[in-house]
Amino acid sequence: MNVNLIMSGEAIKVGDKAPDFELTRQDGGFFRLQDMRGEKNVVLYFYPKDSTTGCTKQACEFRNQYEVFKEYGAEVVGISSDSVESHKRFERVHHLPFVLLSDEGGRIRSMYGVPRRLGILPGRVTYIIDKKGIVRYIFNSLSKPLEHVKTAIDVLVELNKEYQHV
């Protein structure tokens, strides 16, 4: 029995504080979500697997819109259970300008409560986390990888309007 799946508890919901974590980046360094707090909004997206059709379309659309994300004060972070080496290849082949994190044991996926389809296929879920570390929006769709990017931009536009009124 997989202990990581038992530990998951409830899925993260809008309004929750995003759980902090530390994972290995594709360049071998470490990424801590907490380091973004107070600095940037985070578009944290979980995806099934490097170099598959849907995941490649999604990653390339995040790449194509990356400057827009930066304009809205956001950092894009992709997470899958693929190895660091797999992420390096995926980044290099598709010229991805954002961080890819290796969650090989699925611990962070489980911590966030990202569902599996048919119990085996890793889900595709995007979390928009504001500068205070609060989850502001969750988009869950395995079959609409490009919608994750469009939806994330729409949410960031609204967040920036909120910041301007504070």
Contact 115, 138 (CB under 8 A): no
Distance CA 109, CA 58 (A): 18
Q: Can you give the length of the chain in residues?
A: 166
Question: Across the chain, which distance is largest between two alpha carbons, in Å?
Answer: 49
H or E element, residue 93: helix 84-94
DSSP, res 143: S
* Token duo for residue 120: 């085996």
* CA 106 to chain CA centroid, nearest Å: 13
Instruction: Verify whether residue 55 is a known catalytic residue.
Output: yes
* Cα(54)–Cα(73) distance, integer angstroms: 26
Q: Is 29 helix (H, G, I), strand (E, B) or coil?
A: coil
Catalytic residue among 55, 59, 79, 155: 55
Active site residues: 55
